[in-house]
Amino acid sequence: MEILRIRGGTRLEGSVPVSGAKNAALPILFAGILSDQPSQLRNVPDLADIKTTLKVLETLGISVTRDGDRVGLHAKQLSSIEAPYDLVRTMRASVLVLGPLLARAGEARVSLPGGCAIGARPVDFHLSALEKLGAVFDIEGGYIHGRAPDGLRGATMTLPFPSVGATENALMAAALASGFSEIQNAACEPEIIDLAEALRSMGAKITGEGTPLIRIEGVSSLGGMNHAIAPDRVEAATFLCAGLISKGKVRVTGIASHYLGSALEVLGSMGAKISSGTDWVEAESTGVLLPAHLKTAPFPGFPTDMQAQFMALMTQAEGNSKIEETIFENRFMHVPELARLGARIRIQGNEALVEGPTRLSGATVMATDLRASASLVIAGVVASGETLIRRIYHLDRGYEKLELKLSALGAQIHRETEK
């Protein structure tokens, strides 16, 4: 088993490049199913979830090539319409094959998803949106089986909640459905905009992405895609938090500040000095860290994927902070692990009350999910002595070369194989 060993107490300073966004790359890779022409993607991060996605695509008969951050896809013919349990169980986003497969092949079978254990995370919004386009679904043997024997037809899909994944499935399916579609109450996350741009590079006719109303004029076929994946705003925020907890100064490059709007507002309110250029953002400690109250919400609200990292930072604030989690019902699993490092955090329903400042001291902790693991790394940067993080496969699902990037900023962090 691999572990991370961190020796806390060093000040982080410097500049770090942000990788392509996992959450943008996953749906865009699945969009490759929609065309029988070759596609080219750039800035694809090297992550466990990307490898899983490429394996899912290969099991469908799609040829995949990879060279550094470039991925080539060619779905000339599909040899299967099934995303099998062994792959899907590790990655919930596999459910994103549904829309593209139904649109391209008229049929899809996907194992009911697994992924991070952060709440119930059903897929009912995905299914009801695709049903509006004419698909019918059965659940059999742990699999969702969808069929669209007469092809998909454009329709109005109104989401009960602006689900990111349901918006993506609906968008990909509608791009190849006959006629006009609308997605009402669509998610507005930057990753949706990136998917729409990638689909447009294939010839899709989409307007309104980034707003709650997306309009799609279906086309009968799509060409190959040529697209560079947008930067990872969650990775960027993680580095900014790590820099601030160390009282340092970290610049993330390859990302513009609009990706990080609400996170930068909170960091500014906590006393950080924020500056930015066209493709970089910097957060510098002013020596003062103030408490904050934040509430996760769909974009442009505060992202749930950054909540755990900010919680680690709040343990060092001069006063008590509060986090209200409104997106997922079980997303405080990092709290007992942060407590092992000395944090004092109380959970009341969907709120976490973080006492600050507390002195953290190194201990052995366990990563419980992807973003929770990042909060432990951030806490480890400031904890006295050594912090050992186990189960870092969670971290490898979403952070590319994390220990190398943090080392370059001055952190003392190493990956080791535990005997």
Given 56, 116, 204, 237, the catalytic residue: 116
Residue number, 127 or 413, with CB nearest to ligand UD1: 127
Q: How far is the CB of 120 from ligand UD1 (least distance, A)?
A: 6
**Binding residue count for ligand UD1, defined by CB under 6 A:** 22
Site string for ligand UD1, 224-253 (x = CB under 6 A): ------------------------------
Catalytic-residue membership of 241:
no
Amino acid symbol at 222: L
Stretch that binds ligand UD1, among 59-67, 120-128, 137-145, 351-359 (CB under 6 A): 120-128
Q: What is the rounded distance in angstroms from the CA atom of residue 176 to the CA atom of residue 181?
A: 10
Q: Which residues of 358-386 are buried (b: 16+ CB within 10 A; e: fewer)?
A: bebebbebbbbbbbbbbbbbbbbbbbeee
327 burial type by CB count under 10 A (0-12 exposed, 13-18 middle, 19+ buried):
buried
- Candidate residues 61, 136, 142, 161; the one interacting with ligand UD1 per rule CB under 6 A: 161
Check binding of 358 to ligand UD1 (CB under 6 A): no
CB 13 within 8 A of CB 410: yes
CB 394 within 8 A of CB 369: yes
Residues 5-24 that bind ligand UD1 (CB under 6 A): 23
- Candidate residues 12, 81, 87, 93; the one interacting with ligand UD1 per rule CB under 6 A: 93
Residue number, 120 or 220, with CB nearest to ligand UD1: 120
Check binding of 260 to ligand UD1 (CB under 6 A): no
- DSSP letters spanning 115-127: ---SS----HHHH
Check binding of 164 to ligand UD1 (CB under 6 A): yes
| Residue found under tokens 């209200």 | 324
Check binding of 277 to ligand UD1 (CB under 6 A): no
| Neighbouring C-beta atoms of residue 136, cutoff 10 Å | 13
Q: Which of 226, 177, 175, 182 is nearest to 204 (CA)?
A: 175
Residue number, 120 or 417, with CB nearest to ligand UD1: 120
Site string for ligand UD1, 305-334 (x = CB under 6 A): x---------------------xx------
Residues that bind ligand UD1 in the complex, under the rule CB under 6 A: 23, 26, 92-93, 119-126, 161, 163-166, 191, 304-305, 327-328
What are the catalytic residues?
A: 116
